[in-house]
Amino acid sequence: MSTTEEPEATTDAVDVAADLLPTGTVEQAVAVVDEMPEGGLTTDAAADLLPTGDAPSEPEAPAADEPVVEVLDEDDLFDGDGDGDGEPAPVRESAYDRPGGWYVVHTQSGYEKKVKQNLQARTTSMHLEDRILEVEIPMEDVDEFRSGKKVTVSKKVFPGYLLVRCHLDDEAWTVIRDTPGIVNFVGAGGKPSKLGRREVETFLPVADESEAVVPKRSKARFGFGVGETVRVKEGPFADFSGAIVEINEDQLKVKVLVNIFGRETPVELEFAQVAQL
């Protein structure tokens, strides 16, 4: 009985071993089976048949709370602007990074635009375009209320001053200093002081390639402020006066404390309904 069963067991072991081999050759499987102990093919013996020498194992399942990381295609990767559209983020240029340095010059107040034109003309006539590179009048958008209506106007940030970007040497200094309307450079001891990055980017906001430079926007100017006494021009409280306790810019309204029958009562009015005393 034993002589008939042993070949079948050996044959089964050989088949199992052959399945583990990279090539699956029976000759290599037989060599392993001949050396295996009684009881069948051991794990160590099977490991010797594998290309890496490691026993096969089931892949570990991720923990329930472990996030699954998805490998994205290159076109799906975020481009840096947070929208994930695959398009490169727009390049944002700072005026500070342009060649040369930025300096402030004092001009006659009210003539900034004319002085700018004079300096640009002198730069061209003296062939110093490679030294005096840019002349700017810092501007800002200001919300004002005129006749009860909100309007946006562009105003000079620093009346009486210009920003000049240049490679400042003796010749450039002389041309700038002697331009009609320019009083002097701004700096300690009369020596021109170069502006830092924060100052330049405050006066000349950074813009990207797809946008024009957006002037800095100042707080709305109402023509009056909280605590100021105003006169009511029209409506049921016409000719009454009172102090402003609240200004609502979005709705173009103010709240005024009006004395009614000896008691101060807050009354909400439109800008057009009040005037300064």
Cα–Cα distance measured from residue 119 to residue 176, given in angstroms and rounded to the nearest whole number: 7
Angle between helices 112-125 and 170-177 (to 10 degrees): 140
Neighbours of 75 (CB within 10 A): 8
Domain ranges of the chain: 2-49, 95-218, 229-276
Using the predicted structure, report yes or no on whether residue 86 has a pLDDT greater than 60.
Answer: no
Neighbours of 178 (CB within 10 A): 9
Lowest mean pLDDT among 40-44, 56-60, 73-77, 194-198: 73-77
229-276 and 95-218 share a CATH fold: no
Using the predicted structure, report yes or no on whether residue 69 has a pLDDT greater than 70.
Answer: no
For the chain, count helices (H), then strands (E). 6, 14
| CATH for the 229-276 domain, from 2.60.120.10, 2.30.30.30, 1.50.10.20, 3.40.50.300 | 2.30.30.30
Task: Give the length of the chain.
Answer: 277
Is CATH 3.30.70.940 correct for 95-218? yes
Most confident of 18-22, 28-32, 203-207, 244-248: 244-248
Using the predicted structure, report yes or no on whether residue 38 has a pLDDT greater than 70.
Answer: no
pTM of the predicted structure, to 2 decimals: 0.49
